[in-house]
Amino acid sequence: MYDDTDQDASTGTAHNDEMTVNVDGEQYSLATEYDVNKDGVNDTAIVQTDDGGQVAYTDSDNDGAADTSIELDDQGNVVGAARYDEGRGEWIPVDPRTGNPADSSTAQNTGNETTSSNQEVMVDVPEESEDMSAGTATADMDHDGRNDTAVVQSEDGDLFAFTDTDGDGDADQMTVIESDGNVTISQHTGEDEWAEVERGHLDAQGNYVPDNQRA
């Protein structure tokens, strides 16, 4: 599905947790250096594709295997998303905006997608009188059967992921991946208030590296 099956060697030097990724019947090992749902366990690896794009693989249930992915082009635009179907042994493409299977025939996947893919994530924007919609949640980061994260990109190519951690429809966490590779993670702390909790960057191999791990 993705042309990134040669990335195993480039991530082998990472010193954090690892997860497996199944691609076209082959299994690869990736270093997880990013904690998407902030539960204290690294669950996401970002790798670079041969065409200059990136794919973020996430192990949302902490079983050691990637089960969701988001694909970006070389400008940082979201161009695809998928879920891994263990029963079928393949990645099922989903619409990045709606979370629905790209092919309606795959709707049998888990039974959860048709009930969870319509959840809209609202964002408290400072100095705005009303909350703004980030769109429909397309990823279930904590694997509870409910899509909780909406992904959008700016005209400059920056990627924004808004996560509703408590299921109230409002974004509690914001992850920004800038077009130059800088990454910022913030949490909603109150009305019109966001507090930065972590900062890092994507290295030459497309892996996320927190600033506190720099030499």
User: Contact 176/159 with Cβ under 8 angstroms?
Assistant: yes
Query: Using alpha carbons only, what angle is made at residue 122 by residues 116 and 126, rounded to the nearest 5 degrees?
Result: 160
Amino acid 189: pLDDT:
94
Taking the C-alpha atoms of residue 102 and residue 108, their distance in angstroms, rounded to an integer, is 12
Q: Do the strands 149-153 and 132-136 form a parallel or antiparallel pair, or are they unpaired?
A: unpaired
Walking along the chain (215 residues) 10 residues at a time, the average pLDDT comes out as 40 58 87 81 86 87 89 79 85 72 45 51 90 86 80 84 90 89 91 91 77 65
pLDDT of residue 107: 36
Contact 109, 103 (CB under 8 A): no
pLDDT of residue 51: 82
Q: Which amino acid belongs to residue 155?
A: E
Output the pLDDT for position 103.
53
Q: What is the pTM of this model?
A: 0.49
CA distance to 10, 119, 144, 210, per residue, from 148 (Å): 30, 8, 9, 23
pLDDT of residue 213: 64
Residue 47 is inside which H or E element, if any? strand 44-48
Gap between the Cα atoms of 185 and 163, Å rounded? 11
